[in-house]
Amino acid sequence: MHNASTLLRSSFFSPKLKSSVVRNASKVASHSKPVQRLCRPGYTGVKNVRVCGHSCSYVGVNRQMGFARYYSTAKKDDPPEEEAEVKDETPLFSSQLPATVAVPEVWPQVPVIAINRNPVFPRFIKLIEISNPALIDLIRRKVKLNQPYIGIFLRKKDDDNKSDVVTNLDDLHQVGVFAQIHEMQDMDYKLRLVVMAHRRIKITGQFIEDEIESGPAETDAERRRRKYRVTRKKQDSEAQEKEKTETPKEKKAAVDQVLMVKVENMMHQKFQQTEEVKALTQEVIKTIRDIINLNPLYRESLHHMLAQGQRVVDNPVYLSDLGAALTGAEAAELQAVLEEMDIPKRLMMSLSLLKKEYELSKLQQKIGKEVEEKVKQQHRKYILHEQLKVIKKELGLEKDDKDAIGDKFKERLANKKVPQAIQTVIDEELNKLNFLESHSSEFNVTRCYLDWLTSLPWGITSEENLKLEDAQVILDEDHYGMEDIKKRILEFIAVSQLKGSTQGKILCFHGPPGVGKTSIARSIARALNRQYFRFSVGGMTDVAEIKGHRRTYVGAMPGKLVQCLKKTATENPLVLIDEVDKIGKGVHGDPASALLELLDPEQNFNFLDHYMDVPVDLSKVLFICTANVIEHIPEPLRDRMELIDMSGYVAEEKLAIAQQYLVPTARKNCGLSEEQLDLTSESLHTLIKSYCRESGVRNLQKHIEKIARKVAFKIVKQETDKLIVTDGNLSELVGKPTFKHDRMYDITPPGVIMGLAWTAMGGSTLFIETAVRNNVVDDKSHGSLELTGHLGDVMKESAKIALTVARNYINTHFPDNKFLNNSHIHLHVPEGATPKDGPSAGATIAAALASLALRRPARQHVAMTGELSLTGRVLPVGGIKEKIIAAKRVGVNCVILPEENRRDFDDLPSFIKENMDIHFVTKFDEVFKIVLEGEQITDEHLQRTKKKKMEVQDITRAAAN
């Protein structure tokens, strides 16, 4: 609570110090006999020296003391006549300590020292360090002149400014203390002073040292010396003026500093020892005693002082200052006590501060006792525990901590087939553990390492299900369709049954989101009776996630595969590595490269984790990876996987999945029975066609769950007991249909043909639109092609190739048609916000350009896909299943495919190929004949179709109203 300076100045009130001061005064008086002739008449000697309170000032009753000696300041290289003059004008300087100089009753000018924290009170000692060079020189000069007096004043703003001087008197409180320097010590660039405050003073103005005409006791020699100094100043005026011109900032800064001030003594108001004053005095004394009893820091020094009785205790002036100085109050409150001249008021203010200090000391003592009691209890509990351990160890009831840990690790390895190399490492670590202190950090690192080593399932495998019938039933229970995946898993079981043992495999399921890649992996684990573990590598950028951290790092831990073995407790789990096509790469390594070792059957039997630092066998693990786009998987990693395509679902498959899996699950999750919620086949078909056209069933599941929640809400509110969802009330439950039109064009005009595209979400249909931007009749002009629709580089090149193929075909078969040669054509693919790229739109673009050149609309209800070579050959493309599904979804039954994709179409399920008119082509000639030489659409047919469409719209609008 109290700083060191408060303790220091409090210690000077000891009676031992008083006796030391008296002895020093007698000693000084005895040494002063040879120069008593210099003293003024009326001085009565040492018997007139008195000690004021506990201050260390020696004051004569009638006159001031003066002890002096002569000394010379002449330089060796000065002229003889100047040296003689200097000797005559050398002043007197004191040879005694500053503390032995008498304190005058009045001293009008003093150096000023600014302090920050708490003000200094009279009769208190303070340790001050000053660093201002000008102030240090001034104080040294004053001490040599037997003027060891300073004024100490508090700053008004207690900020971080540590300067000892101020530039404006307004920055200081006007009331401070007059202090005497008792000890001065040089500390390189600082000066340490031990000062004692004597009385209150008040600033009356700034004082510049050059204004001094004569000191209070200036002799003739001092006057001559000053006169000589003034003469030297006049002789060097030009040099000084030049110096001022060169360094104006330094001189201005020196002039701006307030080094000395004019002061006057402040006397307190006269008062009488009334009952009020006596009561305040006694209360202050009582509060000080209470504080001493609570805080032992002041007990030794202040107890002796209060026991003296008379001088401090009975004097309200001294007592009020003592009480304020003992507290740790704010600087403003202490300064108010210093400035108060009414003694009763000053006593009251000191008493208020002492009461606050007393309450604070009580709180501090209470907190200290609580903390001490808590520490004692913890220490006692620790000692009792240690004694209990020793007693149990002596009685054989309990083993040492190290022995218990070692036994626990050995017990874990009892039923495991640990390889010899790994057993050697475990034994070495156990021996190392016995020599380590249980409280050391190395002990914890070794213990954690042994914990991982002994927790792995060495030689432990789960018994697999090798019955094909049981596996088939489990796979069919959870998923509809997916014949390729189910067939591959059954083949794996058959091989394991014939071989008598199982080996790990690396499979990769790729397809659009929501088709069941992750869920089928869980079903496979259940069908094989293997433990299931999943972790995602999407966005992973640190190779340590897979291969672990090295044990030298704080908080190191093994990678995901070692964690998998510990969690599953078997050597043959099924590990699903999800989103393998979205793996990242950062400054901490390439995780895709780390997977190469993991997914290589020739290497993963000896997998080395950075943390474990021992080989781990992963050859029995069945790895299944999932991806949306296999092109994003690095080629070396893709080469290690067996790729299985999981395409999207057609409407029939979605309907079956919804009826068999999604609707029952939604009912169960919402607490509904079959009678309470009934979704008809018509409503599910409408939901699939108008709301959920994506390849997967995730969005369909969300809509079915939304319907179940709304029905549960209505049943709870007793609005209905059950609800049958039909086409009529479907929009009330899930909102307006998302897809209103099946196609952008019911009847395509010339230059517009439907194409088929593949995306990560599945297949989709898009239209290729061509139009004339500027038709030029001049045969010498060359046509151009402008492309829009956010097309990629590959698709732009396909468009240029398609234009060349279409020009050559038109020039060959229609030599009079120069449309493609001379016209400026604009080709656009709608939905420009969606990026489009890929090598599968060449045949569609060429057909659209030919349709525009011949001004013939293409055959209706036909879609196509395929890439063109520069000679007009139709090249194979991918995603045939998704594209056929997309064509059936929009009601297009006629599809043109490359001849080389015939085998892909033949592998499709029969319900997808049903009612489809597929044309396989090898050249653009065949495409042209199918699209532009088939059934043509006349204007009359267009008008009839438009009229029929308007009638259908009118009937629909009337039914809605």
Q: Is the pLDDT of residue 752 over 90?
A: yes
Cα–chain-centroid distance for residue 272? Answer: 68
Is 629 marked within a binding site?
no
Confidence of residue 554 (pLDDT cuts 50, 70, 90): confident
Q: Find the catalytic residue in 361, 840, 881, 923.
A: 840
Type of residue numbered 697: V
Cα–chain-centroid distance for residue 723? Answer: 51
- Show the tokens assigned to 92: 């007197």
Confidence of residue 941 (pLDDT cuts 50, 70, 90): very low
Q: What is the pLDDT of residue 900?
A: 93
Helix, strand, coil tally for the chain in percent (to 5): 50, 15, 35
pLDDT in tens, 863-918: 999 999 999 999 999 889 889 988 887 888 899 999 999 998 998 888 888 888 99
Separation of alpha carbons 141 and 163, rounded Å: 20
* Angle, vertex CA 714, rays to CA 712 and CA 717, nearest 5: 110
883 among known catalytic residues: yes
Is 104 marked within a binding site?
no
Is 514 marked within a binding site?
yes
Average pLDDT over residues 362-388: 88
Separation of alpha carbons 926 and 897, rounded Å: 11
| 874-899 as b/e: b if 16+ CB within 10 A | bbbbbbbbbbbbbbbbbebebbbbbb
Distance set, CA 471 to CA 407, 484, 518, 573 (Å): 42, 15, 18, 16
pLDDT in tens, 633-654: 989 889 988 898 887 787 888 8
Q: Is residue 97 a contact partner of residue 137, using CB atoms and an 8 Å limit?
A: no
- Show the tokens assigned to 631: 């092109």
Separation of alpha carbons 109 and 384, rounded Å: 70
Confidence of residue 117 (pLDDT cuts 50, 70, 90): confident
Confidence of residue 305 (pLDDT cuts 50, 70, 90): low
Dihedral of CA 162/165/168/170: which sign?
positive
Nearest to 623 by CA among 506, 492, 518, 491: 506
Rg (CA), the chain: 52
pLDDT in tens, 489-510: 888 888 888 887 777 788 999 9
Q: Please, what is the average pLDDT of the chain? A: 79
- Show the tokens assigned to 515: 């088709």
Confidence of residue 236 (pLDDT cuts 50, 70, 90): low
Better-scored residue on pLDDT, 436 or 34: 436
Q: Which positions ≥6 away from 273 have C-beta within 8 Å? A: none
Phi, psi at 547, each rounded to 5°: -105, 0
Question: Which residue stretches of 435-569 are H helix?
Answer: 441-455, 468-478, 483-499, 517-528, 544-547, 560-568
Type of residue numbered 580: V
Q: Is the pLDDT of residue 230 over 60?
A: no
- Beta strands 762-774 and 824-828 are antiparallel
Q: Output DSSP code: residue 391.
A: H
Q: What is the pLDDT of residue 358?
A: 87
Q: Is residue 744 a contact partner of residue 767, using CB atoms and an 8 Å limit?
A: yes
Q: Is the pLDDT of residue 959 over 50?
A: no
Q: Is residue 559 a contact partner of residue 548, using CB atoms and an 8 Å limit?
A: yes
Q: What is the pLDDT of residue 740?
A: 67
Q: What is the pLDDT of residue 83?
A: 41
* Whole-prediction pTM: 0.55
pLDDT in tens, 564-620: 999 999 999 999 999 999 998 877 788 888 898 888 888 888 899 999 999 999 988
Is 515 marked within a binding site?
yes
Q: Is the pLDDT of residue 149 over 70?
A: yes
Q: What is the pLDDT of residue 99?
A: 47
Is 66 marked within a binding site?
no
3-state secondary structure of 950: helix
Separation of alpha carbons 122 and 55, rounded Å: 9
3-state secondary structure of 76: coil
Separation of alpha carbons 723 and 683, rounded Å: 13
Q: What is the pLDDT of residue 947?
A: 56
Q: Find the catalytic residue in 547, 836, 883, 923.
A: 883
Q: Is residue 789 a contact partner of residue 795, using CB atoms and an 8 Å limit?
A: no
Is 457 marked within a binding site?
no
Q: What is the pLDDT of residue 821?
A: 86
The half-sphere exposure of 39 on its side-chain side, counting CA atoms within 13 A, is 19
pLDDT in tens, 512-553: 888 888 899 999 999 989 999 999 998 888 899 999 999 888
Distance set, CA 141 to CA 131, 148, 700 (Å): 16, 9, 97
Q: What is the pLDDT of residue 86?
A: 38
Average pLDDT over residues 323-345: 88
Average pLDDT over residues 226-238: 58
Percent of the chain with pLDDT over 70: 77
Nearest to 670 by CA among 723, 709, 714: 709
Q: What is the DSSP string of 188-237?
A: TTEEEEEEEEEEEEEEEEEE-GGG----TT--HHHHHHHHHHHHHHHHTH
Q: Is the pLDDT of residue 401 over 50?
A: yes
Q: Output DSSP code: residue 35.
A: G
Count Cβ atoms within 10 A of the Cβ of residue 563 and give its class: 0-12 exposed, 13-18 middle, 19 or more buried: middle
Q: Is residue 182 a contact partner of residue 149, using CB atoms and an 8 Å limit?
A: no
Q: Is the pLDDT of residue 957 over 70?
A: no
